[in-house]
Chains A and B, each alone.
Chain A
Amino acid sequence: MKLAVNFLTIGLVILSLPCGSYTEIPPKPPGSVTVLPPVKPAGGPQAFPDAENSNLPVFTMDYARIQVPFEVTLWVLLASFAKIGFHVYHKITFWVPESCLLISIGLIVGAIMHSVHEEPPAVLSYNVFFLFMLPPIVLESGYFMPTRPFFENVGTVLWFAVVGTLWNSIGIGMSLYAVCQIEAFEVQDINLQENMLFAAIISAVDPVAVLSVFEDVSVNEQLYIVVFGECLFNDAVTVVLYNMFIFVADMPVVEPVDVFLGVARFFVVGLGGMGFGVIFGFVASFTTRFTSNVREIEPLFIFMYSYLAYLVAELFSISSIMAIVTCALTMKYYVEENVSQRSCTTIRHVVKMLGTISETLIFFFLGVVTITTEHEWNWGYIMFTLLLALVWRGLGVLVLTQIINPFRTIPFNFKDQFILGYGGLRGAISFALVFTLPDSIGRKKLFVTTTICMIMFTVFIQGISIRPLIEFINVRRTNRNLETINVEIHSRLIEHTIAGVEDLCGQWSHYYWKDKFLKFNNRILRKILIRDNRAESSIVALYKKLELQNAMEILDTVSGDINAGSSIVSLQYEKKSSGKPKRKFVAADLMNMHDILSKNMYKIRQRTTAYTTKHSLPNDSRTKEILIRRHTSIRRSLRPGSFNGPVWNTRTYSTSQKYRHTYSFKGFTLFFTILYITVSPATQPHTITPPPPCFMVGTTHVEIIRSPTLRLTKHGGWNRKSQTWTHQTKGQISTGLMSIARVFWPKQVSSSYWCPLVVVSLQQFDHEGLVHTVSSEHLMLRCVR
C-alpha cells in the first residue's frame, strides 16, 4: 500500500513538472497566456469563417486557462497523499512527528524539482503565506482551544508570550552582535539593528510546529495550554519588534522616543488585535441569532467573520493572529448555541480540515523551498545562532517560571520547565518573515540560511527527541504488582473523594472574576446574542446535547454487540445455598476481576489531562459518563416491578446493544419516551402549582416531538375506541416520567408530588391525541424550557 502511494506521489510530481515551467500560483494573475494557440479554443464559435481551412477540432487542450487552480489542486493533493502515506505505517508517526515527515517529503520533491531546474510555486511568499495559509491554522487553534484552562492560565500565557519573547529577542540579538564582533567569522558587517531584527524573527516560537509535536506526545494540559497560548500570543510582540527593527534599521540614529513609541505600539498591536477579535466575535454571534431560516449558510458566517477580523487587523498592521484567535474564542460559545446541530458539526469539521490542510502544505513547502533557494553558509554564525537560541530559551524559561510560580495554583516543576524550554520549536512563521526582509539588508541570504537551519534543527532534532525524553523523565512507572481487590477498590474510591473535595473547594483566584463574568454573561450578553435565551444549568444542557447525539448514534449503528457481554468473564460459582459457603476464587478469576475493575471503573477527573485533538475532533468521552450514569439510574429506578412483561434486562450487554435492546424490546420503551409535562394551568382540570422554586433548573417542559412506537404489553396500550391510554399504561408512563424527572431534579422528586401532575398531563395528552404510532426510529429528545 505504501509503495503504491509512493508511486502515486512520484507520478503526480512528474506530472506536475511540465506545469511548473509556468510561474506562481495566486495572487499573480495567470497572465502567461500570451501565445495564441494555433488551434482554435475549444467550443469557441467559428468567428472567422475565412480563416485557415481547418476542420473542427475534435480535441483541444487549453492548459493555460486552468493552470493556476490545477496546480494548486495538485499540490494540495500531493501533500495529502503524503499524509495518508504516513499513517499507513503507524509506527513512523509515533516516533517521528508528522511535521518532520512532511518536510522530508518536501525536501525530496524539492530536490526533484531542482534537478529539473523548475521553480517551485511561490507559496511561501509573504502575501500568500500570511493571507491564505496562516489564517486557517490559527483559526483551528483558536476554535479548539480549551477555554477553561486557557482562562485559568491566561496570566502565565501572557507572561511567557510577552516577556519571554522580549527576553529571547534581546538576548539573542545582543549575543549575536557580540559574536559578530569576532573576526574569525567574517560577519562583522552585520550591525546591531540587523542582529536584533534577525533575533526577533528567530525567537518567535511557532504554533504550527510545536503543537503538532506536543499533541503527538500528549503532554499534560497545563503545559499544552501555556505553550499553545505563548505561541499564539507572541505574535504581537514579534510583529512589533519586527516592524520596529525594520524601521530602525533604516534609521541612522535611534532615539529614546522611539523606544517609548515601540512600547506604545506594542500595546496598540496587542490590545487592538484582541479588541478587533472580540468585536467581530460579537457581531458574528449576533448575526447567527437571526439565521434560523437560513441554516444552510450558517457555517459561512463563522469563516467569513473570522477571516474578516484577520484582514482588518492586517489592514491596520496590528496583530492579526490575536484578532482571529480572540474572535474564534468569543464566537464559539454563542454561535454554538444559536446554530443547528448540523451546522455545528459542519463548522467543526471544516475548521479542522482547513487547518490540517494548511499545516500540511506549509511544512511541505518548507521542504521544497529549502532546496530551491539560494543559500549562504557561514559556520560560525549558524552554529552560534543555534546554540544561543537554545541557551536563551532555557534561561528564559527558568527565570520566568521562577518569577511566576508563586502565582500559579499548580506550579511548574523542573520537568515541566524542561519541556517548556525544549519545546520551543521554530517554524514557518520565522521562515516567511525572513523572506520578507528588505533586500537592503546585505546579509539576507545568510539570514535565510540560518533560519532554515534553525527550523530544521528544532523540528527534526528537538521534535524527534522530545518524545523519548518525556518518557524518560516520567519514568516513575510503578510495577503493577497484583494488589488485592480491596486495595484497588478502596484506592479508587479515595481518589474519587479527593477529586470531589477538590472540586468542592474550587479554584482560587479565578472564581471571583469568572463568577462576575458569568453573571454579566447571563444577564446581558446572552440576551443579546443568543436566540433562545434561557438560563441553563449546564448539566441539563449537557444532558440534552448528549441525549441527542446518543440517539443519533444509536440510529446509525448497524448492529449492537450482542456478544460483547458474554466475552467478559465466566466466573465459577458455587451454588449459593442458604448457608453462605465461602466461595473459592481461582487465580484466573482474580485476574479477570482485576481486568474488569481496571477497564471499567470510572476514571478520576484528572487535573491535568493529556490533551490530544490534533488528529481527531475533540470528544466528550468524559461527559458521556454522566449520560451513562443517568441512564443507569433511570433504568434501575424502573426496575422494581413496575412492568409486566419483559423489562430491562439487567444482564447488561455493551452499551449499544443495550440501547438497541430498548428499541426492539417488547415491553414498554420507556427510556426514550418523550413525554409532555405541561404545567400550564389553563388546561388542567385542577390547578397545579408550579414546581417549587428550589429547582436548580427552573421550569422545564420536556416535549415529545414524535413519540415512540408503543409496542406495549398486551394489557396496555392505546385504546383506540375510547381514545385513552389504558390505566396500566398510564401507570407505566407516569413511572417513567417520574424517573426522568428524577434525573433532572433528584432531590425534589422524592415524594409522590409528581404523580398527580403526570397523570393529569397524560389526560391532556389523550384529548389532544398527540400520541401517534410512529416508529421508534424517529425519536428525538428536546428539552424545551
Chain B
Amino acid sequence: MGSTNSTLSKIPNVEELMEETGFTPAHIVRLYDRFEALDKEKTGHLRPQDFGAINRLAMNPIGDRIIGAFFSPGQETVDFHSFVRILAHFRPADKKHPKDPSMPEPVNSRTSKLKFAFQLYDQDKDGKISRAELLQVLRSMLEMQVTEEQLESIADRTIQEADLDNDDAISFEEFRKVPLGRARRLTYQHGPLQHSAPRILSQPHRK
C-alpha cells in the first residue's frame, strides 16, 4: 500500500470529508482500504451483498438493519463518502471541545449516536418506534424460546415505561430520556476505531 498521501489523493473531496466527519487522514486511508476490500468488483460503490459477505455481520441478529442504515431510502449503493459519514457516528466523542450552541451538532456526539440507534428501530422513519417495530426488533434479538404473548408483553411494558405522551409509541425525545448511561459501553466511547487509531497513527505505511 502506498503512502498515506497518495491514497488520499485518490479520494475526491477528501478535505471536506475530513472536516465534516472529524477523521484524521490515517483513519480515512484505513477506511478507504476497507472500502476497497469490501468492494470486490471495484465499482466504487458498495451494494448490500458486499456487506452481507462479511460473515460475522451476517451472524449479528440486527445485522441487516445495520446494513440498511448505510443505504438512504431509495439508494441501492453506497459510495465512499456516505460510508465514511455513517461510520463517523461511531467515532469517540470529543469530550474536550465545549459545546458551541450555534454550530450544528457534531456527527459523533452522544445525541447523534442515539439517533443512529433510534433509526435502527424505526425502519419506516416516521420518527417514532411503534409497537410493531419494537416487536420486530425484539423478535430478531431473542431466540425462539419466547412465545408471542411474552414478546408482546415485553413490548407493551417497554412502551409503557418509556412513553410519556401516551401515544403508544416511543419518540426520539423519549428514547433519549432512557437512562442508558449506567449500562456499559453505551455511548460508543470505545468506538471501533479506537483500537486501530493508535496503530494507524504510528504505522501509517504498514500493510
Chain A interface (Cβ < 8 Å from any Cβ of B): 406-407, 409-410, 478, 483-487, 489-506, 508-509, 511-512, 515, 537-539, 564-565, 568-569, 571, 573, 580, 582-583, 585, 589-590, 593, 596-597, 599-602, 605, 622-623, 625-626, 628-629, 631-632, 650-652, 654-655, 658, 694, 696, 746-747
Measured CB to CB, the closest approach of chain B to A746, in angstroms, equals 8
Report 14 cross-chain contacts, Cβ distance below 8 Å, ordered by A residue: A489-B138, A491-B184, A492-B141, A494-B188, A497-B116, A504-B66, A505-B196, A506-B34, A511-B34, A600-B143, A626-B58, A626-B59, A629-B140, A650-B148
Q: Which of B7-15, B17-25, B160-168 contacts A (4 or more CB under 8 A)?
A: B160-168
Let me know if A483 and B142 touch, CB within 8 A: no
Let me know if B168 and A580 touch, CB within 8 A: yes
Closest to A570 in B: B149
Let me know if B154 and A496 touch, CB within 8 A: no
Determine the chain B residues whose CB is within 8 A of the CB of A486 once the complex forms. Answer: 158, 161-162, 178
User: Is B72 among interface residues, defined by CB-CB distance under 8 A?
Assistant: no
Question: Which residue of B137, B146, B199 contacts A508 across the interface (Cβ within 8 Å)?
Answer: B199
Q: Beyond A568-B145, A625-B143, A747-B52, is A500–B62 a contact (Cβ under 8 Å)? A: yes
Let me know if B196 and A409 touch, CB within 8 A: yes
Determine the chain B residues whose CB is within 8 A of the CB of A406 once the complex forms. Answer: 198-199, 202
Determine the chain A residues whose CB is within 8 A of the CB of B195 once the complex forms. Answer: 409-410
Number of A-B residue pairs having CB atoms within 8 Å of each other in the complex: 201
* 3 A-B pairs closest in CB distance: A491-B183, A502-B192, A503-B56
Indicate the member of B56, B179, B182 with the most A CB atoms within 10 Å: B56
Closest to A538 in B: B55
Complex-state Cα separation, A646 to B178, whole angstroms: 42
Determine the chain B residues whose CB is within 8 A of the CB of A512 once the complex forms. Answer: 1, 33, 207
User: Is B120 among interface residues, defined by CB-CB distance under 8 A?
Assistant: yes
Let me know if A483 and B182 touch, CB within 8 A: yes
Let me know if A696 and B56 touch, CB within 8 A: no
Determine the chain A residues whose CB is within 8 A of the CB of B54 once the complex forms. Answer: 503-504, 506
Determine the chain B residues whose CB is within 8 A of the CB of A571 once the complex forms. Answer: 149-150, 153
A490-B175, A597-B154 are known; give 20 further A-B pairs, CB within 8 A.
Answer: A409-B195, A484-B161, A486-B178, A490-B117, A491-B184, A493-B62, A494-B180, A496-B62, A498-B188, A498-B191, A500-B57, A502-B192, A505-B34, A506-B54, A571-B153, A597-B142, A626-B58, A652-B144, A652-B147, A658-B144
Complex-state Cα separation, A486 to B140, whole angstroms: 16
Determine the chain B residues whose CB is within 8 A of the CB of A537 once the complex forms. Answer: 53
Q: Beyond A497-B62, A582-B160, is A487–B199 a contact (Cβ under 8 Å)? A: no
Question: Which residue of B33, B34, B66 contacts A497 across the interface (Cβ within 8 Å)?
Answer: B66
Let me know if B61 and A600 touch, CB within 8 A: no
User: Is B132 among interface residues, defined by CB-CB distance under 8 A?
Assistant: no
Measured CB to CB, the closest approach of chain B to A374, in angstroms, equals 54
Question: Which residue of B51, B61, B157, B184 contacts A485 across the interface (Cβ within 8 Å)?
Answer: B157
Let me know if A500 and B63 touch, CB within 8 A: yes
Question: Which residue of A497, A503, A509, A622 contacts B117 across the interface (Cβ within 8 Å)?
Answer: A497
Let me know if A493 and B186 touch, CB within 8 A: no
Q: Beyond A407-B199, A601-B142, is A493–B161 a contact (Cβ under 8 Å)? A: no
Determine the chain B residues whose CB is within 8 A of the CB of A508 once the complex forms. Answer: 30, 196, 199-200
Complex-state Cα separation, A315 to B61, whole angstroms: 52
Complex-state Cα separation, A499 to B65, whole angstroms: 13
User: Is B112 among interface residues, defined by CB-CB distance under 8 A?
Assistant: no
Complex-state Cα separation, A426 to B144, whole angstroms: 47
Complex-state Cα separation, A571 to B148, whole angstroms: 12
Closest to A590 in B: B157
Indicate the member of A504, A509, A600, A622 with the most B CB atoms within 10 Å: A504
Complex-state Cα separation, A628 to B195, whole angstroms: 32
Let me know if A655 and B144 touch, CB within 8 A: yes
Let me know if A602 and B153 touch, CB within 8 A: no
Let me know if B145 and A583 touch, CB within 8 A: no
User: Is B206 among interface residues, defined by CB-CB distance under 8 A?
Assistant: yes
Determine the chain B residues whose CB is within 8 A of the CB of A485 once the complex forms. Answer: 154, 157-158, 161
Determine the chain A residues whose CB is within 8 A of the CB of B153 once the complex forms. Answer: 571, 583, 585, 589, 593
Complex-state Cα separation, A83 to B65, whole angstroms: 49
Closest to A491 in B: B183
Determine the chain B residues whose CB is within 8 A of the CB of A652 once the complex forms. Answer: 144-148
Measured CB to CB, the closest approach of chain A to B4, in angstroms, equals 15
Q: Beyond A493-B117, A500-B57, A505-B193, is A487–B178 a contact (Cβ under 8 Å)? A: yes
Complex-state Cα separation, A568 to B154, whole angstroms: 14
Let me know if A605 and B60 touch, CB within 8 A: yes
Determine the chain B residues whose CB is within 8 A of the CB of A504 once the complex forms. Answer: 51, 54, 57, 66, 87, 192
Complex-state Cα separation, A492 to B140, whole angstroms: 12
Let me know if A506 and B37 touch, CB within 8 A: yes
Query: Which residues 50-101 of B sit at the A interface, judged by CB distance below 8 A?
Result: 51-64, 66, 87, 90
Complex-state Cα separation, A623 to B56, whole angstroms: 10
Complex-state Cα separation, A277 to B168, whole angstroms: 65
Measured CB to CB, the closest approach of chain A to B100, in angstroms, equals 27
Determine the chain A residues whose CB is within 8 A of the CB of B186 once the complex forms. Answer: 491, 494
Determine the chain A residues whose CB is within 8 A of the CB of B137 once the complex forms. Answer: 489, 493
Let me know if B141 and A489 touch, CB within 8 A: yes
User: Is B42 among interface residues, defined by CB-CB distance under 8 A?
Assistant: no
Complex-state Cα separation, A582 to B198, whole angstroms: 52
Let me know if B147 and A651 touch, CB within 8 A: yes
Let me know if B61 and A629 touch, CB within 8 A: yes
Complex-state Cα separation, A626 to B196, whole angstroms: 28
Measured CB to CB, the closest approach of chain B to A472, in angstroms, equals 20
Measured CB to CB, the closest approach of chain B to A750, in angstroms, equals 11
Measured CB to CB, the closest approach of chain A to B40, in angstroms, equals 10
Let me know if A568 and B141 touch, CB within 8 A: no
Let me know if A632 and B182 touch, CB within 8 A: no
Determine the chain B residues whose CB is within 8 A of the CB of A538 once the complex forms. Answer: 55
Complex-state Cα separation, A32 to B201, whole angstroms: 72
Complex-state Cα separation, A622 to B58, whole angstroms: 13
Complex-state Cα separation, A537 to B50, whole angstroms: 13
Determine the chain A residues whose CB is within 8 A of the CB of B5 once the complex forms. Answer: none
B105-147 vs A, Cβ < 8 Å mask (1 yes, 0 no): 0000000000011001100000000000000011011111111
Let me know if A747 and B49 touch, CB within 8 A: yes
Determine the chain A residues whose CB is within 8 A of the CB of B121 once the complex forms. Answer: 493
Let me know if A602 and B156 touch, CB within 8 A: no
Let me know if A501 and B178 touch, CB within 8 A: no
Determine the chain B residues whose CB is within 8 A of the CB of A582 once the complex forms. Answer: 160
Closest to A629 in B: B61
Complex-state Cα separation, A632 to B206, whole angstroms: 44
Determine the chain A residues whose CB is within 8 A of the CB of B154 once the complex forms. Answer: 485, 489, 593, 596-597
Closest to B31 in A: A505
Question: Which residue of B179, B196, B198 contacts A487 across the interface (Cβ within 8 Å)?
Answer: B179
Let me know if A484 and B199 touch, CB within 8 A: no
Let me know if B49 and A696 touch, CB within 8 A: yes
User: Is B48 among interface residues, defined by CB-CB distance under 8 A?
Assistant: yes
Measured CB to CB, the closest approach of chain B to A571, in angstroms, equals 5
Complex-state Cα separation, A300 to B206, whole angstroms: 43
Complex-state Cα separation, A658 to B154, whole angstroms: 23
Let me know if A747 and B150 touch, CB within 8 A: no
Complex-state Cα separation, A602 to B144, whole angstroms: 10
Complex-state Cα separation, A508 to B205, whole angstroms: 12
Complex-state Cα separation, A564 to B179, whole angstroms: 34
Complex-state Cα separation, A564 to B146, whole angstroms: 11
Q: Beyond A565-B147, A596-B150, is A500–B60 a contact (Cβ under 8 Å)? A: yes
Determine the chain B residues whose CB is within 8 A of the CB of A564 once the complex forms. Answer: 145
Determine the chain A residues whose CB is within 8 A of the CB of B206 once the complex forms. Answer: 509
Let me know if B143 and A583 touch, CB within 8 A: no
Determine the chain B residues whose CB is within 8 A of the CB of A478 once the complex forms. Answer: 184
Measured CB to CB, the closest approach of chain B to A154, in angstroms, equals 15
Closest to B192 in A: A502
Let me know if B142 and A651 touch, CB within 8 A: no
Let me know if B178 and A628 touch, CB within 8 A: no
Complex-state Cα separation, A508 to B197, whole angstroms: 10
Determine the chain B residues whose CB is within 8 A of the CB of A483 once the complex forms. Answer: 182-183
Indicate the member of B60, B156, B188 with the most A CB atoms within 10 Å: B60
Complex-state Cα separation, A718 to B207, whole angstroms: 61
Closest to B177 in A: A486
